[in-house]
Amino acid sequence: QQQVKQSPQSLIVQKGGIPIINCAYENTAFDYFPWYQQFPGKGPALLIAIRPDVSEKKEGRFTISFNKSAKQFSLHIMDSQPGDSATYFCAASIGQATNKLIFGTGTLLAVQP
């Protein structure tokens, strides 16, 4: 119940395409869903986050879609660029009282020029 399932494991798109990464969870007590981006040789960094009281959040070319009834959320990258090539992790937590995050298994995205 504490798992966050992420797919696909890897993804290759052409420049300008819209990669979509999906995550699913079981624990309905989760109420904070961040996405982290990790470049090779670096630690992950927060990209965008959403709470379940909204169905969508946009920041620049990055959009989180959230489906509370299906217990799923996804990351869309509009007009993807080679510089977006990285590993993306979804995560979830129960409130932020302890700030503990449960991470998905990661998606390696390659955007080809």
Burial label for 21, CB within 10 Å (0-12, 13-18, 19+), is: buried
Q: Does 103 bind another protein (CB under 8 A)?
A: yes
Is 89 one of the binding residues for another protein (CB under 8 A)? yes
Instruction: Give Cα 36 to chain centroid, integer Å.
Output: 7
Shortest gap between Cβ of 73 and another protein (angstroms)? 16
Tokens of 7: 């797919």
Binding mask 6-45 for another protein (x = CB under 8 A): x--x------------------------x-x----xxxxx
